[in-house]
Amino acid sequence: MVSASARPAHRRSVLKRRTLVVTAAAVAAGVGAGVLVMNANANPVVDLYHQVLPAKDGWAASGAGTTGGTKADAAHTFTVSTRAQLVKALGSATDTTPRIIKIKGTIDANTNDAGKKLTCADYASGTGYALSAYLKAFDPATFGKKVPSGTQETARKAAQDKQKKNIVLRVPSNTTIVGVPGTKAGILGGSVLVQNVKNVIIRNLTFADTQDCFPQWDPTDGSSGEWNSNYDSVTLRGATNVWADHNTFTDAPTFDKTEATHFGRKYQVHDGALDITNGSDLVTVERNQFLNHDKTMLIGSSDTDSTGKLRVTIHHNLWKGIVQRAPLARIGQIHLYNNVYDTTTVNGYAPKYSLDSRAKAQVVAERNVWKIPADAKVAKLLSGDGTGSVAGTGNIVNGKATDLVAAYNAANPSKKLKTTVNWTPTLTGGIQTSVTNLLTDLTGTTGAGTLL
């Protein structure tokens, strides 16, 4: 294992660092220029707001690397604590001027510009939508197995559009968004959209309970139909050079098990946690926690997403209480290393699988750790459609070196995963060859609030 002292500053364990706040003024600077932190040897640590992705740290280090808003001037350095302030700081999605946005505390995305809390009823007001009327209109027993259309579906879309205008937060190129340490920084109920832009850094934030008030019923989705929601906590669409680091993604406090059932299916208000689609490319996802969620990470929006893109590195993340898509990968070149998967059922989130490689995805999964219940089957940790690949060695299940692909293929002879890929990872900064203590290490050093 790489020792704490050998890691770059942004990877250093909170438990293994002693910090010294230089002056009271420096604390106040946490909402301005950033707190100056000194380690035990009195060597200054670069402030979070101007840190850039280290060299060779995954696909996002390609080319000129990922620097976010590190070149921002004073006029484009913001501290925000409300949705309205965040929207103003983000500005236009087409403005490429470097900017740094420091989020102080938790921002509730379901508020208006004056800070008033908005509910699903507020969004539905004036549209004519009512869930009871929607259920009556599209009951499969009378409407049949057709995609909803008509007055109530039109009203549902109108209500959904009202919520979308409020909770979708568009990020421009050359932006760094960082949670201010010690403030429980995060976004509640919001959907951060990084679309057709480049060079974005998102760090030290908790993304919680991103809900769609108005899921759509689709009786043609699967054999029994599904309720489909519309917002991810963070969405990358056509985005290039993105670094997501030390964030926490969770459905809390609204777990899926508390949702009602309609037409025999769970009324699903949550979509993805962090989805990377529509030709997004050169992305590094590291040291995050993914907790209490169903469809967690989608790479590639469809089997026909962009060939030659969707290059993603996922390392040193903790996944717990995850049902599926950790990730589901299509088409791209994906490197998974030094991640921890705890597949214990938590808050009703029972695992289906961890990694799904399909649509000719080229996945290298190495030196990851799984903790599974004694009665769980290794073969169910993977999934695929018979065209995807999973290569790599050194994966551990309950402390034992395990060939996950061999176990999966033995149980799924008609949809075997391929074991070779057409590329070799080279951007492997920080990879640990020994993973003996990885579960303990990542539990205390990943997610929001562990950066100082």
Distance CA 389, CA 362 (A): 5
Active-site annotation holder among 99, 325, 358, 367: 325
For the question of residue 156 being annotated catalytic, the response is no
Distance CA 311, CA 362 (A): 9
Nearest-Å Rg of the Cα atoms of the chain is 22
Q: Do residues 137 and 144 touch, judged by C-beta distance below 8 A?
A: no
Q: With the CA atoms of 256, 257, 262 and 266 taken in that order, what torsion angle do they form, in degrees rounded to the nearest 10? A: 50
Distance CA 330, CA 83 (A): 34
Among 418, 411, 368, 410, smallest CA distance to 391 is for 418
Q: Do residues 3 and 434 touch, judged by C-beta distance below 8 A?
A: no
3-state SS assignment for residue 404: helix
Structure tokens of 266? 């769970």
**Which amino acid makes up residue 89?**
A
Q: In what order do the strands lie in the sheet with 281-286?
A: 77-80, 99-103, 175-179, 198-203, 240-245, 281-286, 312-315, 333-337, 362-366, 389-391
Q: Do residues 298 and 328 touch, judged by C-beta distance below 8 A?
A: yes
Distance CA 130, CA 136 (A): 10
Distance CA 5, CA 86 (A): 35
Q: With residue 245 as reference, give the H or E element that holds it.
A: strand 240-245
Residue 270, number of CB atoms within 10 A of its CB: 23
How far does CA 440 lie from the centroid of its chain?
22
Distance CA 333, CA 214 (A): 35
Distance CA 138, CA 156 (A): 12
Q: Do residues 414 and 387 touch, judged by C-beta distance below 8 A?
A: no
Task: Name the residues annotated as catalytic.
Answer: 325
